[in-house]
Amino acid sequence: MKIAIIGAGNMGGAIARGLARSAKDVTIAVSNPTTGKLDKLKTEFPAIETTTDNVAAANDADIIVIAVKPWLVEQVIKEIEPGAPQVLVSVAAGIDTVDLERMTGETGMTIFKVIPNTAISLMQSTTLVASRNATAGQEEMMLSLFSAMGETFLIPEKQMAAATAMTSCGIAYALKYIQAVTQAGIELGIKPGVGMKMVAQSMNVAAELILQNDTHPVLEIEKVCTPGGITIKGVNSLEADGFTAALINAVKVAAK
């Protein structure tokens, strides 16, 4: 199987690296208009085929991943002219699969919309997948390819905006928490670098409690909120200041 990736930027490059590490019996071709990023990829993974010619990369590919800026997607699709039995994958947010199908000019072509987040560079992405005209086998194949780069979720396309607001945007919200609590620590005498690592590790632990124990945040919060203790005072202060409402509103606004 050959996978062509059009675009070697942050997302395209991360996908290429992830596939090169994990995918077996797969030929990977990456195209980009300039050679700098291609040369770096080739140095890291000599087996990756690199070219500045999008058409050459996509011509005999089984799967074509479009990893360019949203305003360039239609231009690239018109250039490479994908068609069945090829599978088209777009990582561009804001472009629906119905629009991608229209761009191909081929009704019924198998298309996937795949939205990773920035943690894909660490192979820890939360990747959202929606399909159009795909079989169950094709959906399983796509989930398998991207699961090597983190957790992958197949969802209805109509849920993409909400899920993206929770996952991709959610990283920014989590980072704002780290920033704010670190600032509080500085005021209380904790050095910034040390405090930031403390908070980041605490967030990592909180996430692992949920992921590994299949539990619920409420249950884990109860475990650390002893009667009259300092944690419940802090939790109640967060609620009084609108912490939960602010996060809910942030997700809802981002999903619009």
In the chain, which segments carry CATH 1.10.3730.10?
A: 163-254
**Which pLDDT does position 119 carry in this prediction?**
85
Whole-angstrom Cα distance, residue 50 to residue 36?
11
In the chain, which segments carry CATH 3.40.50.720?
A: 2-155
pLDDT tens digit sequence for 116-159? 988 887 889 999 999 999 999 999 999 999 998 899 999 999 99
**Which pLDDT does position 77 carry in this prediction?**
96
**Which pLDDT does position 25 carry in this prediction?**
86
Q: Is the peptide bond preceding residue 217 cis, with omega within 30 degrees of 0? A: no
pLDDT tens digit sequence for 215-238? 999 999 999 999 999 999 999 999
Whole-angstrom Cα distance, residue 149 to residue 70?
22
Say which residues have a Cβ less than 8 Å from residue 216's Cβ, sequence separation at least 6.
Answer: 210
Find how far residue 106's CA is from the centre of its chain: 28
Whole-angstrom Cα distance, residue 6 to residue 58?
8
Whole-angstrom Cα distance, residue 158 to residue 150?
22
**Which pLDDT does position 21 carry in this prediction?**
86
pLDDT tens digit sequence for 167-185? 999 999 999 999 999 999 9
What does pTM read for this prediction? 0.88
- Output DSSP code: residue 116: -
Residue 139 has which token pair?
A: 């959906």
**Which pLDDT does position 204 carry in this prediction?**
95
**Which pLDDT does position 173 carry in this prediction?**
96
The pLDDT-based confidence of 101 (bands split at 50, 70, 90) is very high
Whole-angstrom Cα distance, residue 117 to residue 105?
29
Count how many Cα atoms sit within 13 Å of the Cα of residue 44 in the half-sphere of its side chain: 14
- CATH of segment(s) 163-254: 1.10.3730.10
What percent of the chain has pLDDT above 90?
88
What's the CATH fold of domain 2-155? Rossmann fold (3.40.50)
**Which pLDDT does position 93 carry in this prediction?**
83
